Amino acid sequence: MTAVIGFVSIILIIVAVITSATLGTALEGRLLDQVKATASQTSFLVAQRTQAAAVDGQPITAERVLSGQHFQGQGVLLAVASADGATGVVVTSDETIELSRSQLLAINEAVQSSPDASVNLEGVGSFLVTVTSRNGVGIVTGLPRTEIQSTMAQLLTVITLATLGGLILLALTTAVTIRYSLRPLRAVARTATRVANQPLDRGEVEITERVPAAEADPRTETGIVGASLNKLLDHVNDSLAARQRNEALMRKFVADASHELRTPLASIRGYSELSLRALSQGADASGTETALERIQAQSLRMTRLVEDLLLLARLDEGQELVHGTVDLTQLALEGLSDARPTGPEHIWNIDVPAEPVVMLGDAGRLHQVVANLLANARTHTPAGTEITLSVAREGDEAVMRVHDDGPGIEPAVRDQLFARFARGDSSRARQTGGTGLGLAIAKAIVEGHHGTIDVTSEPGSTTFTVRFPLTPRRTA
């Protein structure tokens, strides 16, 4: 605000100076015209007095020239210089003032450089004078500058008062306008302060504070700030919610992993203690051998779990995938051939096109996807279920489907089907000691190939659909 007032003040001062100078010049020019007109009149009077002086032998003086003349206002200055000497008077409506020698010298000095000049006579006033001559007599005629000085003084007073009043009004108007215009920014500041006072480092966090809609109009400059802050708060709130969900999933993941590891560890500990007790008591070696076999089985189960967790971690980091040319048709045939011996009680079908479906990918990991999907279908469906593996090319995508006519998946389970350690025990009979990581690994591998995997299910029909781009997509 100070800068605005200072800038306007400079402009007003410049305007005042220009206005004063222009008006002063105009008034000076007008007065000079009056002086020249008066000079013509006095020159004529001097000519008359010169003729009269020639008759009566009296000297030519300024007072004699203006004798009997009447002037309104501040009067007329007249100085004449003849062979008889120099005299000067100022004649007003009230009196006649005779000029002293020093005043006459001041007039002479003023008109030396220019025939039209301003002269300030001490005790008399300021005059605008002009020099003429008639019949060998030098004549200086002048009119007072009092009216010009008074007019300029009044003008400067008015300009000063108007400028001060305008600046005061400008300051008040600017203060009110700025205060009103910056109201959205104060709303932004209050909102930011309230958010800053919220504890965001612990517990469930939700940022509900927003800049009021009336103060966040994106059509105004200050409103853009409020709208941007609201957008930022929405993003931060969504990010915090996602972080909380991730933390909840991580806690569940750790709990599930701990539970999966605790069971084989407890078995290993129990069988090892049993073996040690049998050896100390000299029991039959066959019991010890059975215990060691159980220890080995539980160790293998833990190994598979740890390897699956390590694979998921590496897939999350974008590692483990080695891309090359993969024949998805051949991969499906091999996967079904491997699955048949593990589920002889199921009916296995394959549907692949005559032309191979070729894509870029990691053959080993894609084979794992096929194996996991087929194992999931086999494990969670009863004997006699028909399982069909199909491969097709649809546009610029390679599509693989695993369909079964089993009992289906409950909707509540379907939403968490690809989560880690997820199981469908409530809808499908669990026949193996799986860890619940098979579909999570399949999803991670598919997404590592920039593909998608989803499931549709109803009683008597469940289909897992996997889509891969035939041309690899560039990552940003």
Using one digit for the tens of pLDDT, what is the confidence trace for 97-128?
888 888 888 888 888 888 888 888 887 888 89
Q: Are residues 149 and 34 in the same domain?
A: yes
Q: What would the two tokens of residue 334 be?
A: 């091999």
Residue 476 has pLDDT above 80, yes or no: no
Residues 8 and 38 in one domain: yes
Q: What is the DSSP string of 393-440?
A: EETTEEEEEEEE-SS---HHHHTTTTSTT---TTTS---S---S-HHH
Instruction: Assign 34 a pLDDT band (cuts: 50, 70, 90).
Output: confident
The arithmetic mean of pLDDT across residues 203-212, rounded, is 76
**Within a domain: 21:** yes
Q: What is the mean pLDDT of residues 136-156?
A: 86
Q: According to the model, what pLDDT value does residue 199 have?
A: 77
Q: Which of 345, 331, 312 is nearest to 466 (CA)?
A: 331
- pLDDT confidence band for 404 (50 / 70 / 90): very high
Checking if the pLDDT of 60 tops 80, the result is no
Whether residues 23 and 151 share a domain: the answer is yes
* More confident of the two residues 165 and 291: 165
Q: Could you tell me if 240 and 207 are in contact, meaning their C-beta atoms sit under 8 angstroms apart?
A: yes
Same domain, 330 and 341: yes
Question: For residues 126 and 118, is the Cβ–Cβ distance under 8 A?
Answer: yes
Range name among 35-39, 297-301, 355-359, 464-468 with the lowest pLDDT average: 297-301
pLDDT of residue 73: 58
Average pLDDT over residues 339-345: 90
- Look at 56-65, 86-95, 380-389 and tell me which has the smallest mean pLDDT: 56-65
- 43 shares a domain with 15: yes
Mean pLDDT of 417-421: 72
Q: Which domain holds residue 73?
A: 2-156
Query: What 3-state DSSP class applies to 358?
Result: strand
Q: What mean pLDDT do residues 289-316 have?
A: 75
178 lies in a domain?
no
User: What one-character DSSP code corresponds to residue 144?
Assistant: E
Residue 239 is part of a domain; what is its CATH number? 1.10.287.130
Considering the domain architecture, whether residues 281 and 354 belong to the same structural domain is answered as no
Q: Is residue 343 in some structural domain?
A: yes
**Confidence bin at 330 (pLDDT 50/70/90):** very high
Say what the pLDDT of residue 55 is: 63
367 shares its domain with 272 = no
pLDDT of residue 240: 80
pTM passes above 0.75: no
Mean per-residue pLDDT for 69-80?
72
Tell me what pLDDT residue 430 has. 39
Terminal-residue alpha carbon distance, the chain: 47
Question: With pLDDT > 70 as the criterion, what percentage of the chain qualifies?
Answer: 86
Q: What's the confidence (pLDDT) of residue 348?
A: 93
How many structural domains does the chain have? 3
Flag whether pLDDT at 408 surpasses 70: yes
pLDDT band at 41 (very low <50, low <70, confident <90, very high): confident
CB count within 10 Å of CB 295 equals 19
Claim to verify: residue 350 and residue 305 sit in the same structural domain: no
Bridge partners, 129 (sequence order) = 117, 142
